[in-house]
A and B are shown apart, each in its own frame.
Chain A
Amino acid sequence: MPLWVRDYSWRQTDSAVFLSLPMRGVRVTQANIFCTEQYLKVNVPPFLFEAILYAPIDDTSSTAKIRNETIFFTLYKKEAAMWESLVMENADKEKKQRIRENAVIKAQEKANEEEKSKAVTKREHKKYALEATMKLEEMERKRIENLKEEERKKVTEELERWKENQRNEEKQRRIQREKELHQEKKRIEEKKKQQINKPTILNAGTSKTRSIPTRTGSCGSIFSEKLKEESFPAPRSAGTIKISFTSRVFPTALRESRVAEEEEWLHKQAEAHRAMNANFSELKDLNEEEKNPDWLKDKGNKMFSTGNYLAAINAYNLAILLNNNIPVLYLNRAACHLKLRNLHKAIEDSSKALELLTPPVPDNADARVKAYVRRGTAFCQLELYAEGLLDYEAALKIDPTNKTLEQDAENIKHIIHGNAKDS
């Protein structure tokens, strides 16, 4: 239970009320005092003082002085009048309560407003500070720009001056040379008078870069360049140095960042070539040479050209056993089968070769032409002329300039028409 403070004293003038409130043995701070227009409360545990004032006061200008043991209030009245008493009499409990609540609300509102206005002023201050900084920076930048401009101007002037110097020097040199030439001319004319030589023609130094030496070689040249030329050593005796380059597979320039990718591609190619997919037991009794698909292919080609088709097929078979990804092996084996009239086998091999020759690039164009032609021939020999024609036309598409292909295609077309008529 707080202790009500009742031993206060007050006096008043027309415009102000002076209230003195004793507070013994406690420390009072600003937070303990709550004052609005019509309500005054001082709460310092254990003391409590509350007053609903007789008339409204101006709480913003009113003051409270906290001294030892007492608080002195100076409350400025809103209306100048003499109060009958400090507190409002005849106020019932509800009214008192309402007044108290209003007071609190009012105090809150006031606090809000104060906060808002503080925020506004803060923002304005910040803006001002920012503008000031910007101005300073702008000035700094301008200063640097100006310094640079001056530098530039100075340098340009220097350049012009230097050029002037150059030009003057050039002029001087030219005058000097003309003078010398003139003297030379005079000397020659004098010599002419003595000799009966053909008159020499002199160009009086029109070009500012060189002078043309005189015809009469007997006059010593006054131009030092000539002398210097003769003092050059003879041209070097020709020599050749043979060099070899750090190897590089690709025709493009070497870039460090691409090296990894290139290595990978080369690795893949090497792997594809070396792919061994045969039974080792069968290969046990082959020598080194015979294990190389390329060597076997060459052997096969040789046997094909001598007409030994069976042996050629054997060679190709072995090569394919070693590496079944090389299209040219199937291509050549197809040719052998054609010669031996193993038409179905020929068709099979040509098809396999075509499969391996994807993607179709200019590099493998003629290989593909051969494959189509061989398959087409096989079809025709089996009297499957329609399919044969298809293959011939595919070959023609790749190589439209081949006359024999055209001729053969024409023939097949005729045969087809002939058959159609018959049946």
Chain B
Amino acid sequence: MSGAGLLEKPQVIAHVQQSLNYTVFECKWVPCSARLLCLGSVPRGTGVIQLYELQSGRLSLLREIEKAKPIKCGTFGATSLQQRYLATGDFGGNLNVWNLEAPEIPVYSVKGHKEIINSIDGVGGLGIGEGAPEIVTGSRDGTVKVWDPRQKDTPVANMEPVQGESKRDCWTVAFGNAYNQEERVVCAGYDNGDIKLFDLKNMSLRWETNIKNGVCSVEFDRKDISMNKLVATSLEGKFHVFDMRTQHPTKGFASISEKAHKSTMWQVRHLPQNRDIFMTSGGAGSLHLWKYEYPAQRSKKDSEGVEMGVAGSVCLLQNVTLSTQPISSLDWSPDKRGLCVCSAFDQTVRVLIVTKLNKV
């Protein structure tokens, strides 16, 4: 093993580690800054939002905000860069949008779901994507609802089970395909392995599949382009990459799957600066950095002459084990390539730097 070859791969360097005294569920960078947010649940049973700033090798706490219910997830995706309002989903099924400068009263609040909101995503803000800013929430009550912060109390789209059918928990949601003002797509993953793709322009179910394991996390490689790739991670250490450019009427989208981590894959996040690189986090406290390679031809004709997609291949660039507990949340900084923050169930939040991503 030559020393030079070893260091040409991207390295994951643990830059700062901060120990917290509460369970942290989500960590997010505040756009256009070196500040990050941690959302979680204090042992008392209430929710907490902490704002940290990265300063000369440490994280210094700038602000701590306590809320009535533990907070499960949050996103900046639906606000403008100037406002930077945080949308959160909590354990009581409430969706709130906060102005962090004046966090006592939410800017928008609705009791969206009957049970905990497991996952949230926003689109139309931060200068990314076109069209109205919208927030989507997925909950344990089996419904996925899309909200517009300008419309109070009722969602603008509601994906719920047929009356009388038993419900499955929705574990993850993601926006995609927002390349012009009308088009938008929501992808939802459920605990029985279902992945469903909803088209918001036509208000219909566009595609569904079942990947045989509960779906922990789904993400499109970019929200603001015509949908290109979708990565879905699941229990039992598997993830699937779907090529979303070509949809076959019966076979759906082409995909490849890969096994890693040997435990639940909790999160997948694409690098904002390169849509073919993504990082997955696992239940054994490990992070894997992957690169997707496109096939020579992205679509081919099947035996009946109908177009179908061809999936490419995925290669592992680097892996590192940071903790013994699952790393439940991961976020890349949109402003600095390679800077990311992750939080684990060992009550620590870590800021990592991944080097050489510009040479991959």
Query: Chain A interface (Cβ within 8 Å of chain B)?
Result: 140, 143-144, 147-148, 151-152, 155-156, 159-160, 162-163, 166, 170, 207, 209-210, 225, 228-229, 232-246, 248, 252-257, 259
Contact = CB atoms under 8 A, between A and B. Distances in A.
B90 to A, nearest CB: 22
B15 A235 contact: no
A256 B234 CA distance: 10
Contacts of A228: 80
B46 interface: no
A245 B167 contact: yes
Nearest to A257: B236
A210 to B, nearest CB: 6
Contact of A236 (B80, B200, B205): B200
A148 B318 CA distance: 15
B14 to A, nearest CB: 9
A240 B157 contact: yes
B7 A147 contact: yes
A159 B204 contact: no
Interface string B1-36: 001001100010101000000000000000011100
B137 to A, nearest CB: 15
A163 B132 contact: no
Given A152-B13, A245-B165, A240 B160 contact: yes
Interface residues of B, number: 68
A61 to B, nearest CB: 53
B37 to A, nearest CB: 14
A38 to B, nearest CB: 63
B203 A246 contact: no
A259 B212 CA distance: 9
Contacts of B57: 156
B302 interface: no
B82 interface: yes
B160 A239 contact: no
Contact of A244 (B13, B161, B169): B161
27 contacts: A143-B3, A144-B3, A144-B7, A151-B13, A156-B353, A159-B339, A207-B101, A210-B101, A232-B124, A233-B131, A234-B132, A236-B134, A236-B146, A238-B156, A241-B157, A242-B160, A243-B159, A244-B165, A245-B161, A245-B194, A253-B192, A253-B235, A254-B192, A254-B213, A255-B213, A255-B236, A259-B212
B226 interface: no
Contacts of B239: none
Q: Is the interface of B mostly helix, strand, loop or mixed?
A: loop
Contact of A253 (B133, B161, B191, B208): B191
A58 to B, nearest CB: 57
Contacts of B134: 236
B306 interface: no
Interface in B67-123: 80, 82-84, 101
Given A159-B353, A163-B34, A241-B205, 20 more contacts: A148-B7, A152-B13, A155-B353, A155-B355, A163-B55, A166-B33, A207-B101, A209-B84, A228-B80, A232-B133, A233-B131, A233-B132, A233-B181, A238-B155, A238-B157, A239-B203, A242-B162, A246-B210, A253-B192, A256-B238
Contact of B3 (A147, A225, A229, A257): A147
A229 B80 CA distance: 9
Interface in B221-275: 235-236, 238
A254 B132 contact: no
B193 interface: yes
